[in-house]
Structure 1
């Protein structure tokens, strides 16, 4: 046997020896190596969220005579940004004026009151509130971008009020 190995070694040139050595290593390594596979679970939960913003519902500068003569109308905006596909409703509270209701909110200037309300449409026929006492909420579905909803305000005619800076704060609640 030694003679045959020596004879084989003599017949192989140097490049053939390298090739033979490489084949032995490659086939020897694959015969020893093994593989195993598994499954990795991947998951994510996207939480439903909403962010709300508002603009001022500003009636501007009006005279007492103008208020006595007719309604004074203005608009503001409620902006909602909810997760895509999330249903939401927007409710408005009564405000902070003494004796305020959804139908007759109260702006104050010291002890003086100026009655107004906020509606869901330009027709100003449905009070925007919390869904009670004939008021309505505004509903929508999130798009993942800001969506604006117009708030239609009205100071009621026939009021006699002294000059002053009248203000109120209405809480906006988005349920989703």
Structure 2
């Protein structure tokens, strides 16, 4: 009993030294064994707008390899990949390249002062020229949202063989949508 008699005055002295709010909070903590938390909820929107769009995702060199005299046609293929949003109609055009005097029907690879004629087609029979006039000699398609691959069919026709060396050209691909 003596121990309790000593403890009560100490608690009373301690209570007098603490702010009343702290004493009340301590009392609440001591008695609230099953207290529950309160929560609130709300919602928020999430949005994105997809516009009609196309991207050229891959192009590969149209490489005719190594050859000797050009007494017969040299054929090769290459591919280009395009991805467009679903239902987006588009046309792929290939320009005449950078060779002097080139057209989309007869492009020119250059090596020094000499050139080598070549052609690009949209079909394996190499009958349909692939140019850059929309709705005339371009390739038309409709986007799916996934990558679509297109084959470029190249041909170096038989012609007078120029000097030895490497002949090059650069063609610009344009997607119109």
TM (norm. structure 1) is: 0.70
Structure 1 stretches of 4+ moved >4 Å: 40-44
The counterpart of 1:50, out of the listed 54, 76, 84, is 54
Q: Provide the rounded CA distance (Å) in 2 between the counterparts of 1:97 and 1:42.
A: 51
For the residue of structure 1 that corresponds to 2:119, the secondary structure is: strand
* Greater helix fraction, Structure 1 or Structure 2: 1
User: Residue in 1 aligned with 2:137?
Assistant: 136
Q: How far 1:43 sits from its partner (Å)?
A: 6.1
Q: How far 1:44 sits from its partner (Å)?
A: 4.5
Q: Provide the rounded CA distance (Å) in 2 between the counterparts of 1:71 and 1:49.
A: 38
What does 1:32-43 align with in structure 2 at a 5 Å threshold? none
Question: What whole-Å deviation, never above 9, does each CA across 1:11-58 have from its counterpart, x for those lacking one?
Answer: xxxxxxxxxxxxxxxxxxxxxxxxxxxxx9986431111111211110
User: Residue in 2 aligned with 1:169?
Assistant: 170
User: Residue in 2 aligned with 1:35?
Assistant: none
Q: How far 1:99 sits from its partner (Å)?
A: 0.5
**Length, aligned pairs only:** 133
Question: What whole-Å deviation, never above 9, does each CA across 1:123-148 have from its counterpart, x for those lacking one?
Answer: 1111100137x961001111111110
Is contact 1:127-1:135 (8 Å) kept?
Answer: no
Q: Provide the rounded CA distance (Å) in 2 between the counterparts of 1:45 and 1:148.
A: 26
RMSD: 1.9
Q: Provide the rounded CA distance (Å) in 2 between the counterparts of 1:60 and 1:125.
A: 22
Q: Provide the rounded CA distance (Å) in 1 between the counterparts of 2:51 and 2:124.
A: 34
Is contact 1:126-1:135 (8 Å) kept?
Answer: no
* 1:100 is the counterpart of 2:102: yes
User: Residue in 2 aligned with 1:62?
Assistant: 67
User: Residue in 2 aligned with 1:72?
Assistant: 74
Question: What whole-Å deviation, never above 9, does each CA across 1:41-97 have from its counterpart, x for those lacking one?
Answer: 98643111111121111001111x2x12x1100001111011111111000100000
Q: Provide the rounded CA distance (Å) in 2 between the counterparts of 1:81 and 1:147.
A: 6
- Structure 1 runs not aligned, ≥5 long: 1-39
Q: Provide the rounded CA distance (Å) in 2 between the counterparts of 1:154 and 1:131.
A: 20
Is contact 1:89-1:140 (8 Å) kept?
Answer: yes
- Structure 2 runs not aligned, ≥5 long: 1-43
